[in-house]
Amino acid sequence: MNELVHPYHRFIRPSVTQTTFCPGCGDGTVAQCILRAIDGLGMDIDDFVFVSGIGCAAWIPSPFFNADVLHTTHGRPIAFAFGIKMGLPEKKVMVVSGDGDLVAIGGNHLIQNARRNVEMTVICLNNGIYGMTGGQAAPTTPMGIQTTTTPYGTFENTFNISRLVIAAGASFVACWTAAHPRQLTNSIKKAIQKKGFAFIEVFSQCPIQFGRKTGVGSAVKMLEDYKKRSISPKEAAKLSEEELKDKIVVGELVDMEKPEMLEEVKKMKKKARGGVE
Amino acid sequence: MNANRVLTGRYFMMGNVACAEGAIAAGCEFTAGYPITPATEVANRLAERLPQVGGAFFQMEDEISAIAAVIGASWAGRKAMTVTSGPGISLMLENIGFAIGVETPCVIVNVQRGAPTTGMPTVGVQGDMVQAKRGSHGDYEIIALCPSSPQEMFDHTVIAFNYAERYRTPVFVLSDAFVGHMREEVIIPGPEKIKTEYRKIPEPGTDPQKIRGFLDEDVAPMPIFGKGFKAHVTSSCHDEYGKRNLIDISALDNFIRKLSNKILKHKEEIILVERDYEGAEIVLVSYGGVARAAAMAAAQARKEGISVGTLRLITVWPFPEEEIAKMAKKAKQVIVLENNLGQLYPYIKAEAAHFSEVSFLPPRLVGEIQDPEDILSKIREVAK
């Protein structure tokens, strides 16, 4: 009898024998959505260069994906990805990292590359906390939550990541949760094909650090909570800022055409050569 | 108009411009940086010239992203460089450590300026000499070259690229505002006379699982991206295959030692010096722009009948201990000259003091290169 093999096992690095994610973590779901999207587009994993930073989510491509992978310093994966894309414009470049990495320490690279509209896919897993270091507050942790660095509750306003990236000028922005794997997979497909900076925020449950700290509880409860709080942009348009506070606006929030940086660089080089290709 | 990569000819050229031309002649395709005095002319020239030959300069949001993009481009198979000054290097240090850890060829030009923090941007001080070696965290080795003229801004930038590619490591060009802004004759040779190297890469088609792409003291082939090598590149402690190992201390020891030994094993090929001390009782040791004043003072002293020679360090890292010892064994007095308060002095003294008297002469004012007259006075004093 043939051994049963998962259809996406071929995308996993042969030396990987076990997952590093905690029980109930949403990052495994998102990892599979990425692989499903690549497979669904009929692409090969070698069509990609994956880049990640520091934190739990950064471990999705490194070591799991059997492709070229650069696991970078904390906060900087998008800046590294910029150089890779400029050096290998024919490859798809995908950044997979967490909210602390991409929005806290690396926030400026996110904003500036959304502004540049450099063609790359950025998947930001938002678990609302620093998981790997043991449950510290992030710029995405809701107000009043007890964490290991805010034992009396968080006292800072939070980032709305998708809104931030929309404002910075990305040509594709979507937001989903780990409770929306099919919708997420479809958006990843679109993001990969987008000629521009394509950003997807995914709320990904961290039952161990966030679930315990907030009292929301287990992975199942967190996913139910995500579903309960998720609303469409249409519904969101009818609500006040106050009413939107605890909501997650899910869907494809921006999908537009605008000048993409690599194309503009090509034009610039042509100009520098006096119009000769 | 299709411009030439190598602008063969004889020029009256600024050091910073010559540096940019050296990079282009060496085959650099990707450059990224952030505006900073006194390094801007390098970036400006790259921005104008590189697109004419198919490359580009990218102005990033900060120096952190500049070095990150350079490392990314290098893994994409491109020869890459960034240029900045001290404050920019301070921001780049974490990612410079990354480049060392994952063995990334790249060139970092530091046109040094005065003082810690913002300091005085237009004044040349050799203030970041030890930062280049010890600035990033952990034990590591680095390569750094010290040009003393616009011609050497060209020549040393070419050498820096070749070292970077040969040893898969970041290489510093430690210039300063004086050498960077100096205008002098620069001769750019014909392209056939400029030796350029490119990193070893694995044989295309090699089974990715069998590629030993890291941690070889004789430099592993670089599994650059886009060739199907399925490179796993992590700055976490890893083995020869790039596989992360965060459990065994022996893996950590191997990681640290192999990276360092890769440079130290090839010290003899990397270290460049200029020796002019045969039979001299007093030897002036210096580097960069200060070496010009040292040479002038030595020539004058010899006219006065004092036995004076010079040793000029071109490669300052890895530190040329053997060269210092060799020189000091024959000398009675060693005078160290730097345009700072004595950054390499302790390193030089540690070697030279076994054999001879060693003293340090800072410039009268830090930020001034030593007046050859002051050096002469010091020579006369120690010659007594």
HEC per residue, chain B: CCCCCCCCEEEEEEHHHHHHHHHHHCCCCEEEECCCCCCHHHHHHHHHHHHHHCCEEEECCCHHHHHHHHHHHHHCCCCEEEEECHHHHHHHHHHHHHHHHCCCCEEEEEEECECCCCCECCCCCCCCHHHHHHCCCCCCCCEEECCCCHHHHHHHHHHHHHHHHHHCCEEEEEEEHHHHHCEEEEEECCHHHCCCCCCCCCCCCCCHHHCCCCCCCCCCCCCCCCCCCCCEEECCCECCCCCECCCCHHHHHHHHHHHHHHHHCCHHHHCCEEEECCCCCEEEEEECCHHHHHHHHHHHHHHCCCCEEEEEECEEECCCHHHHHHHHHHCCEEEEECCCCCCCHHHHHHHHCCCCEEEEECCCCECECCCHHHHHHHHHHHHC
Average pLDDT over residues B152-177: 98
Q: How many C-beta atoms lie closer than 10 Å to residue A221's C-beta?
A: 15
**Cβ contact, residue pair B225, A88, below 8 Å:** yes
How far is B307 from B299, CA to CA, in rounded Å?
10
With beta carbons less than 8 A apart as the criterion, state whether B335 and B283 touch: yes
Q: Is the pLDDT of residue A181 over 70?
A: yes
- pLDDT, residue B384, reads 87
| pLDDT attached to residue A214 | 81
Cβ under 8 Å to A: B residues 65-84: 65, 68-78, 80
pTM of the model: 0.97
Residue bearing the bigger pLDDT, B82 or B384 = B82
Strand partners, A49: A68, A93
Between A17 and B161, residue with greater pLDDT: B161
Among positive and negative, which fits the CA dihedral B201, A87, B92, A268? Answer: positive
The pLDDT value given to residue A84: 98
Nearest CA in chain B to A274: B1
Q: Which tens digit of pLDDT belongs to each residue from A246-261?
A: 999 999 999 999 999 9
Average pLDDT for A174-197: 98
Would you state the torsion angle of the CA atoms of residues B200, B203, B204, B208, taken in this order, to the nearest 10 degrees? -100
- Among all chains, which residue has been given the structure tokens 């210039």? B175
Looking at residue B115, what is its pLDDT? 84
Which of A63, A80, A108 comes nearest B69 by C-beta? A80
Does B214 reach chain A within 8 Å, measured CB to CB?
no
Chain A contacts of B235, Cβ < 8 Å?
71-73
3-state helix/strand/coil string of A100-150: HHHHHHCHHHHHHHHHHCCCEEEEEEECCEECCCCCEECCCCCCCCCCCCC
Percent with pLDDT over 90 in chain A: 93
- Rounded mean pLDDT, B8-20: 98
Model pLDDT for residues A45-67, shown as the tens digit of each residue? 999 999 999 999 999 999 999 99
Average of per-residue pLDDT across B14-29: 98
Which of B68, B78, B94 faces A87 most closely, judged by CB atoms?
Answer: B78
Nearest neighbour of A73 by CB, restricted to B77, B94, B229: B94
Q: How far is CA B150 from the centre of its chain?
A: 15
Who contacts B321 (Cβ-Cβ below 8 Å, separation ≥6)?
Answer: B351
For chain A, the C-alpha Rg in angstroms (whole number) is 19
Edge-to-edge strand ranges of the sheet holding A48-52: A251-255, A172-177, A197-203, A120-126, A92-98, A48-52, A68-71, B232-234
Q: pLDDT for B93-133, tens place per residue? A: 999 999 999 999 999 999 999 989 999 999 999 999 999 99
A2: pLDDT strictly greater than 90:
no
Cα–Cα nearest to A86, from B44, B162, B225: B225
Centroid of chain to Cα A48:
16
Preceding amide of B38 cis, omega within 30:
yes
pLDDT tens for each residue of B327-372? 999 999 999 999 999 999 999 999 999 999 999 999 999 999 899 9
Residue owning tokens 């009256």: B12
Domains within chain B, CATH numbers bracketed: 9-193 (3.40.50.970), 273-383 (3.40.50.920)
pLDDT of residue A212: 86
Q: Is A80–B68 a contact, with Cβ atoms under 8 angstroms apart? A: yes
For residue A277, pLDDT over 70 is answered with: no
Neighbours of B193 (CB within 10 A): 9
Query: What's the confidence (pLDDT) of residue A1?
Result: 60
Looking at residue B257, its amino acid is R
Neighbours of B78 (CB within 10 A): 24
CB A134 within 8 A of CB A211: no
The first and second tokens of residue A265, run together, are 């660089």
Angle, to 10 degrees, between the axis of helix B63-75 and the axis of helix A77-87?
Answer: 40
Q: Which residues contact B188 (CB under 8 A, 6 or more apart)?
A: B6, B7, B8, B9, B10, B11, B21, B25, B154
**Torsion sign, CA atoms A94, B138, B91, B164:** negative
Cα separation values, A63 from A50, A221, B46, B232, B245, Å: 10, 29, 37, 7, 11
A22-272 domain in CATH 3.90.1010.10?
no
Dist. CA A168–CA A174, nearest whole Å:
14
On average, the pLDDT of chain B sits at 97
Optimal mutation site among A52, A80, A94, A266, interface B, most CBs of chain B within 10 A: A80
Neighbours of B104 (CB within 10 A): 27
Would you say residue A139 has pLDDT above 90? yes
Name the minimum distance, in Å, from the CA of A231 to any CA of chain B.
35
In terms of DSSP bridges, do strands A68-71 and A92-98 run parallel, antiparallel, or are they unpaired?
unpaired
> What is the arithmetic mean of pLDDT over B244-264?
97
pLDDT band at A232 (very low <50, low <70, confident <90, very high): very high
* pLDDT given for residue A3 in this prediction: 83
For residue A273, pLDDT over 80 is answered with: yes
Give the best residue of B62, B75, B106, B243 to mutate against chain A (max A CB count within 10 A): B75
Q: What is the model's pLDDT at position A276? A: 63
Q: What is the mean pLDDT of chain A?
A: 96
State the Cα–Cα distance between residues B47 and B67, nearest whole angstrom: 16
| One-letter amino acid of A179 | A
User: Which sequence spans correspond to the domains of chain A?
Assistant: 22-272
- Has residue A126 got a pLDDT over 80? yes
Residue A61: closest CA among chain B residues belongs to which residue? B232
Residue numbers in B near A110 (CB within 8 A): none
* Of A76, A80, A276, Cβ closest to residue B2: A276
What percentage of chain A exceeds 70 in pLDDT?
99
State the Cα–Cα distance between residues B11 and B26, nearest whole angstrom. Answer: 18
Give the pLDDT of residue B1: 44
* Mean pLDDT of the region A201-227: 94
Report the Cα–Cα distance between both ends of chain B, in Å, rounded.
Answer: 64
